[in-house]
Structure 1
Amino acid sequence: MTLFTEVQPTLENYWRSIILFGRNVASYKFALGKSLLELAQRGAEIVTLDILAEPFSRNLCEHLQLANRQATSKSSRFLDACRKFNSGDIQKGELLDVTTKLGFNNVIDAFHIVHDGEIGVRFFTDERKGSEKGIRLTQDLFRLTEQFQYRNLPTEVEARWRLVETAWELKLPRHVLTVDYDAESELLVMNDRMLKRKAITGCRDALNGYQKGMCFYCFSHISVESTSDDLPDVDHFFAHTLKPHGLGCSIDGVWNLVLACQNCNRGSKGKFTQLPELKFLERLHRRNNFFIESHHPLRETLIYQTGANELARRHFLQTTYNMSKELLIQNWKPEHEHEPAF
């Protein structure tokens, strides 16, 4: 297994390992993550639980309106209070009181745990037993706000959250969560039980974290902000033009989608519909394994589509590559490449 932070163990990649990896039994980690990114902008080190309660409960109340199921447990007094607030049965003050008492019982202790161990940095320390009755934001969190990739982190949290809650809400076996890319809307879409297409989240937002905010091909920085000059294209590693040739796989599946800077995808010497050099196939394999190792909602879908184990997935990609090579002949690589990020 290739650890996500093994190459380029930066602050933003430690943060991404928290949000993107690990089993999810409730969505509290996402609510806390979004709250921390918001509170870090205010500059105060000490955040009492009653202050933390406002953005934490607000984020959960907003998502309960999108998907009523926000945990795998059958009941939660805290989530019930959020539902009552949404329906107008309790006031904001009562919601904040319940959040302060019940909302942080497990998430503060569990936030920095990934793969059964604590990550190498902390973005806050637990001060609940001290006089402050809250958390202390660390310098690592404040330094995180100064990084280029910081602008991408809120949307990455949101995208992961939407995928998790959608999977819970549909209550479908994960191997039938057929999620494809809709080029017109630039969204990931899923079919529900009635075979109705359901938009889940922005494709760029969902993919970006697993590429560490870098172009898949040249590792230049990209941004998922819609107005940014660094906005990447959603690229089919195996070109969409191969779809009619019967490769025997879903070309629009997440396994085949990467984010590419505009220069790599459609610059003067861009990829367009060409087949990337063989070394990029290994990179695609690593990226897909990040999805699988993260217990992503699409984990079982990727396994179902590409193979039950690493050897089978390698064979699937190599077979698809060989068939594509016979059709496209020429290989492509970017003009310039930065130091590899994964």
Structure 2
Amino acid sequence: MNIKEYNKEDFWRAVILYGLNQATYKIALGESLIRFSEKGKNFISMNELAEDFFNMYLDRLKNGKPQLANPNRKTAMERIISLYNLNKLSKTQAIERVEREAFNDVIERFHTVDKVEIPLKFYEKTKEGLVILDNIYEVFSDAKNFELKQELKSRWDLLESAFEIKHGESELINDIRKFYLLKGYERTDITHNRSVLYGYQNGVCFYCAELMMEKDIHVDHVIPRQLIHNDEVWNLVLSHGYCNTSKSDYLPNKNYILKLIERNEYLIKSNHPISNKLKLQLGNTPKHRMSFVFKVYEDAQKVLAPWTGINGYNPVTDPFYKTFVRELIYNNT
């Protein structure tokens, strides 16, 4: 590409109008860059950027419209603003979480259009923040570029409207998400649960029933954390990295939920100290515990896209499943 054939406005328009927008972060970053450049700043700390994002989304989300194309997920900004509005985070805590969670992709990919990085940059990333380059001052120094600012706002409106079309039953979905968000908590280190879970899975993956190697054991939420926002062991299993990645934030089918319920019963029937905690969380009887898990599963079905499982997996021939079912039958006779 001969950069001299294009002016700087062309590159800005390419990023904003033709970049791949699966969420509204790129538009928000564009607004921040304009706002800071108009203040004459040539450096933005990550904390400053986080505060600007927080204030921007706090106002923007009053319209209740989705900020992500995938109807089965919420952006980090949506989750943080929801927690703030529910009084579960102070403003300072919310801004800290924005700085920690919201910029993973957008800063690295802002200058990418159709998977190709444009040759002209509007900022450079450092460990401390963003260095604002002269290019953005030149694009927005003239009053005639009011049109570019309006294009940015219009693009955000357009994305929200497009995302909203994909989000069926949005009111019900938002109510369900808010319910679990209110009950949830921040991520914890779940790797310490490996030792608790490993023995009860006989060293095989929960999703494919094949043996796991020590270097490839992941702790996974069966009902995705994207919805339930907690790390309780009743919903945790061990899996291969591939199986975990394949499942991602999709909701597994009923066979896996039944398997999870049986696994929990196996844990409860053991002498492990976790037994009492599971009873406290799920209920005192198998019937109550099954009802609890199925209620969460039914809510998840309204919000999350389904995952049929690993090709070739059959619960009937799953040695792990058969092992603990036999144990349950034996202990109940």
> Which protein has the bigger helix share?
2
- Please say which structure displays the higher CA radius of gyration: 2
